[in-house]
């Protein structure tokens, strides 16, 4: 497959989606930036896209998709370079040009493979980038599991990583936040892990003990480290369920609420100015896989700012298009996967089709209502 690598070129007869409108027109790209964005009336010459959509490259702030490649089966670790390159190919083919790889720091379960592969994974991304093998722009989103006994020793060496763009503070302890309903948790793990009731009781006791011993002290130490020793990094709460969870996040300087589980928590986050992040798989499926509030319901109330592909990269663009069913215009919907996440992590050089910004863009065609990625350009060079 040969890709377009011209430093200057034009595209015409495309359905251009900017930050606030959709029109038939075209663009001119010069040395990696948008030099011109124009409507059809100006008669721009160039490659004819035949009415296909021209969208900004997608910006993903929370995907743990790399874990599916690193840990493809229980207790199976895949070679890190192979896993990372497969992940990169998958996100690019989904239209994602900038991605924050959400890597878990710590886990609920002792001796977790996630913990064992953490630093090798980060180094793997660094090595692949230095070798020029990554097509998307990859950055770090560290997901800090507050109930992890060794959280600080795991996190501290990464706290000043030059590509760290987001931290989220999580507590997945059963009985807390996402898993406040212990009956729902029991049903979930009995199906996922085939645990007996006795095994579940044993693990609940371990998890509860770790939560009591480590969550509060880890939260205080992480926040102190962020304030005193690190450059500014945006912080996100995770799985807010009660308004009290949101208030805690606001007190601690959070700017995003990732995957609130209830309408009341999302409303509280909105009222406090936190950007609300929801899962695109939730949007595509029409419901949460764990029984929490639907992304569509939050969208109907104007409480959805950013979509994340989470565990299905291809869901990001599809989920955005579906937001049009919930009173979002197409520009508003596309902003949830481009401009909004970019700006929230301080990247104002990308995320929309506008003169002077990076020429990260996509060629999209609808097939049976589903957006299909036909081409991907990053800084004016075709990468898929």
CA 207 to chain centroid: 27
- Supply φ then ψ for residue 151, to 5 degrees: -55, -50
Owning domain of residue 7: 1-56+353-384
Residue 135 is part of a domain; what is its CATH number? 3.20.20.140
**Are residues 303 and 184 located together in one domain of the fold?**
yes
**Are residues 330 and 373 located together in one domain of the fold?**
no
Residue 369 is part of a domain; what is its CATH number? 2.30.40.10
**Are residues 280 and 294 located together in one domain of the fold?**
yes
**Are residues 272 and 383 located together in one domain of the fold?**
no
How much is the pLDDT for 287?
75
- Kindly report, residue by residue over 213-229, the tens digit of the pLDDT: 999 999 999 999 999 88
How much is the pLDDT for 31?
95
How many distinct structural domains can be found in the chain?
A: 2
* C-alpha separations of 57 from 19, 107, 206, 312 in Å: 13, 32, 44, 17
Closest CA to 8 of 45, 53, 52: 45
DSSP 179: G
Report residue 94 as tokens. Answer: 């989904």
**Are residues 210 and 342 located together in one domain of the fold?**
yes
Q: Confidence band (pLDDT; 50, 70, 90) for 197?
A: confident
Residues paired with 381 in a beta bridge: 378
d(C-alpha 11, C-alpha 13), whole Å: 7
What sign does the CA torsion over 179, 110, 199, 76 have?
positive
Residues paired with 25 in a beta bridge: 14, 39
- Kindly report, residue by residue over 133-154, the tens digit of the pLDDT: 999 999 999 999 999 999 999 9
How much is the pLDDT for 210?
81
**Are residues 97 and 231 located together in one domain of the fold?**
yes
Q: 351: left (phi > 0), else alpha (psi -120 to 50), else beta? A: left
**Are residues 218 and 367 located together in one domain of the fold?**
no
Contact 49, 11 (CB under 8 A): yes
**Are residues 52 and 63 located together in one domain of the fold?**
no
Average pLDDT over residues 265-288: 95
**Are residues 145 and 291 located together in one domain of the fold?**
yes
- Kindly report, residue by residue over 309-357, the tens digit of the pLDDT: 999 999 999 999 999 999 999 999 999 999 999 999 999 999 999 999 9
- Kindly report, residue by residue over 56-81, the tens digit of the pLDDT: 999 999 999 999 999 998 788 899 99
pTM: 0.92
d(C-alpha 62, C-alpha 101), whole Å: 6
Average pLDDT over residues 12-33: 96
CA 250 to chain centroid: 21
**Are residues 47 and 64 located together in one domain of the fold?**
no
Residue 11 pLDDT exceeds 90: yes
Residue 194 pLDDT exceeds 70: no
- Which residues are within 8 A (CB) of 138 and not within 5 positions of it... i.e. 6 or more apart? 88, 99, 101, 125, 129, 163
**Are residues 240 and 343 located together in one domain of the fold?**
yes
Burial of 229 (0-12, 13-18, 19+ CB in 10 A): exposed
**Are residues 52 and 124 located together in one domain of the fold?**
no
Q: Confidence band (pLDDT; 50, 70, 90) for 116?
A: confident
Report residue 306 as tokens. Answer: 């950013």
d(C-alpha 269, C-alpha 247), whole Å: 8
Closest CA to 172 of 112, 120, 225: 112
Q: Confidence band (pLDDT; 50, 70, 90) for 196?
A: confident
């Amino acid at each position: 497959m040969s890709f377009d690598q011209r430093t200057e070129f034009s595209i015409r007869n495309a359905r251009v989606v900017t930050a606030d409108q959709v029109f038939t027109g075209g663009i001119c790209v010069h040395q990696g930036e948008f030099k011109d964005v124009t409507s059809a009336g100006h008669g721009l010459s160039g490659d004819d896209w035949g009415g296909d959509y021209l969208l900004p490259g997608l910006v993903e702030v929370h995907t743990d998709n790399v874990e599916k490649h690193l840990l493809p089966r229980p207790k199976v670790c895949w070679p890190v370079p192979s896993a990372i390159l497969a992940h990169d190919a998958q996100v690019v083919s989904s239209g994602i040009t900038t991605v924050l790889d959400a890597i878990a720091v710590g886990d609920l379960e002792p001796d977790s493979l996630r913990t064992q592969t953490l630093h090798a994974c980060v180094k793997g991304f660094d090595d692949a980038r230095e070798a020029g093998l990554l097509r998307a722009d990859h950055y770090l989103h560290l997901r800090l599991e507050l109930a992890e006994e060794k959280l600080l020793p795991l996190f501290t060496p990464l706290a000043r990583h030059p590509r760290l763009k987001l931290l989220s503070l999580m507590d997945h302890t059963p009985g807390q936040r996402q898993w406040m309903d212990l009956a729902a948790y029991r049903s979930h793990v009995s199906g996922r892990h085939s645990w007996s009731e006795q095994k579940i009781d044993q693990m609940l006791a371990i998890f509860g003990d770790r939560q009591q011993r480590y969550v509060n002290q880890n939260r205080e130490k992480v926040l102190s480290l962020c304030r005193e020793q690190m450059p500014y990094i945006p912080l996100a709460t995770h799985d807010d369920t009660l308004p009290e969870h949101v208030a805690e996040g606001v007190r601690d300087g959070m700017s995003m609420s990732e995957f609130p589980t209830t309408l009341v928590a999302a409303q509280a986050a909105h009222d406090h100015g936190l950007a609300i992040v929801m899962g695109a798989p939730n949007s595509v499926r029409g419901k949460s896989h764990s029984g929490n509030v639907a992304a569509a319901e939050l969208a109907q109330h104007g409480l959805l700012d950013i979509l994340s592909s989470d565990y299905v990269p291809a869901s990001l663009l599809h989920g955005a298009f579906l937001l049009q069913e919930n009173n979002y215009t197409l520009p508003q919907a596309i902003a949830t996967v481009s401009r909004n996440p970019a700006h929230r992590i301080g990247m104002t050089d990308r995320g929309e089709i506008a003169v002077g910004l990076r020429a990260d863009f996509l060629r999209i065609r609808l097939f049976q209502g589903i957006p299909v990625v036909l081409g991907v350009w990053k800084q004016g060079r075709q990468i898929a």
